[in-house]
Amino acid sequence: MEIKKPVYVIGHKNPDVDSIAAAISYAHFKNYQAGQEYIPAAAGAINSESQFVLQQLGIEPPLVLSSVATTAEDLLDGQSITTRADVDLKTLGGLMREQAVKTVPVVDEGGRFLGLVTIGDMAMLFLEQLGAETNLAENPGILSRLLSLRVGDIMKSQDLVLFEKDDTIEEVRRSMLNSRYRNYPVVGDQHRFLGMISRHHLLAMRRKQVILVDHNESKQAVDGIEEAEIVEIIDHHRVGDLQTLAPIYFYNQPVGSTCTLIAEHFFNHEVPLARSYAGLMLAGLMTDTMLFKSPTTTAKDRMIAAKLEQISGLNSLQWGKDILQKGTSFHEEDETSIITSDLKEYQQDQLLFAVAQVEILELHQLHRRQQGLRQAMEELCQSRAYDFMCLMVTAILEESTELIIAGPQAEFVEEAFRSQARQGIITLPGVMSRKKQVVPVIIQHIRQKQIV
């Protein structure tokens, strides 16, 4: 029987509330439609704001998935026949004939892998015992003794080539090339047997299936995305550089939040929506639109928020403020954690840069941290080879951003905004949105400089 593999619904690296809420909610939406299992995942640690939201709503956090690269476990395509060490060879022989298999794994009562028995091992044993007997009259007795032997008496448990479930495809391929076995066992946690793979499985390799939410650029995607099969994308950002194996469902609209688009799916398909999931999507919507103050906010965002507010019983503005006030730990976290908690990388015309963002209620919260933040940014530029980077410290109530810049080519940012930095900071009144007011300005400036 073929194993039905799950589909992972996952947001971008350094996930924010919208990314986490979108992954959980869309997996819930897809599971309601049935047919396959959809697992919500996060491409990094869950930040304090998301933790606060999930705790308040009583929703389980998503699986943290560091990579979606193909592994030995992904090669498994069906249930393997197994046997126990105390089974006699007569019973095992019948099982092998019935199932038309030549190799049988041996497991204990807990499903842990013990060894292998092959048809070749059994044949060699019979030939050695029967062939050495010159008196043919003794053969029936020898045969009876052989058939009464236990699997544990003849199984191989030493010098086997087996794979852990997380072994990469390259490790599997290399081991198979260096050995000449027909089948290879795959084991999981506590050495539990998961199944058998062969060279055939490498040729018919099945990739992990993923649905991407809240992003569609390779720089922001979970590690190993180039080895995965992308089956859907739900996003509200610019179209990026990811490629797919076949045509997919790609839903992208210029709204303020991915949760707006996912909630729209619930309403359009009349999928029942519990109060907790309505509150979850409302959290993503309110934080990504910065309490409707972001210029990315649309009439659709406000309409969807009103519906989610009614279902969840939450006041949207107060809920958003609670998340920003109680979820943030701006004063407690170290500088590197603040910078990387919501950081996105971009590649444009040979330049690699990053734009991070942290939202606070008022700008006075920044003043004690700005020197340490800039120093940490310089170190990050050096370690990650960024040409430059920016940290948007956005004060929601004041509707303003202090843009801290760093890196060997930080002048690109000053030129783009036509403003000279003071102590590494450019003040941008009215600027709230990374995707609409900062990244496009920088990219456009880079393009113009390349043309010139």
Condensed to tens digits (0 to 9), the pLDDT of residues 166-206 reads 999 999 999 998 888 888 999 999 999 999 998 888 877 78
Instruction: Name the average pLDDT for the chain.
Output: 89
Does any domain span residue 408? Answer: yes
Whether residue 269 is found in the same domain as residue 237:
yes
Task: Give the Cα separation of 171 and 71 in Å (integer).
Answer: 9
Calpha distance 22→258 (Å, rounded): 6
* Per-residue model confidence as pLDDT tens digits over 1-50: 455 789 999 999 989 999 999 999 999 999 998 778 999 999 999 988 99
* CATH classification of the domain holding 134: 3.10.580.10
How many C-beta neighbours within 10 Å does residue 120 have?
A: 11
| CATH number of the domain enclosing 265 | 3.90.1640.10
Q: Give strand ranges (E) for 112-192.
A: 113-118, 163-164, 184-187
Q: How confident is the model at residue 365 (pLDDT cuts 50, 70, 90)?
A: low
| 317 and 388 fall within a common domain | no
Same domain as 121, residue 28: no
> DSSP readout, 107-118?
E-TT-BEEEEEE
**Residue for token pair 């008496």:** 153
Q: Would you state the structure tokens that stand for residue 339, as one six-digit string?
A: 């910078």
φ, ψ of residue 178 in degrees (nearest 5) = -90, 5
Dist. CA 159–CA 77, nearest whole Å: 25
As for how many domains the chain has, the answer is: 3
CATH code for the domain of 386:
3.10.310.20
Residue numbers of the domain that contains 241? 7-70+208-327
pLDDT given for residue 285 in this prediction? 98
The pLDDT of residue 3 is 59
Looking at the structure, tell me whether residues 19 and 66 fall in a common domain: yes
Query: Which one-letter amino acid corresponds to residue 55?
Result: Q
The residue-averaged pLDDT of 307-333 equals 84
Long-range contacts, 2-6 (Cβ 8 Å, 24+): 2/77, 2/78, 3/76, 3/77, 3/78, 3/79, 3/195, 4/36, 4/37, 5/74, 5/206, 5/208, 5/209, 6/36, 6/37, 6/38, 6/39, 6/209
In this prediction, residue 226 carries a pLDDT of 92
C-alpha dist (Å) from residue 21 to 16, 28, 61, 397, 411: 9, 11, 10, 23, 36
Q: Do 167 and 82 share a domain, yes or no?
A: yes
Co-location of 33 and 110 in the same domain: no
pLDDT at 442 over 80: yes
| Virtual torsion, Cα 97, 101, 107, 113, nearest 10 deg | 170
**Rg from Cα positions in the chain:** 29
pLDDT digits over 94-137, tens only?
898 898 888 999 999 999 999 999 888 888 877 776 665 555 45
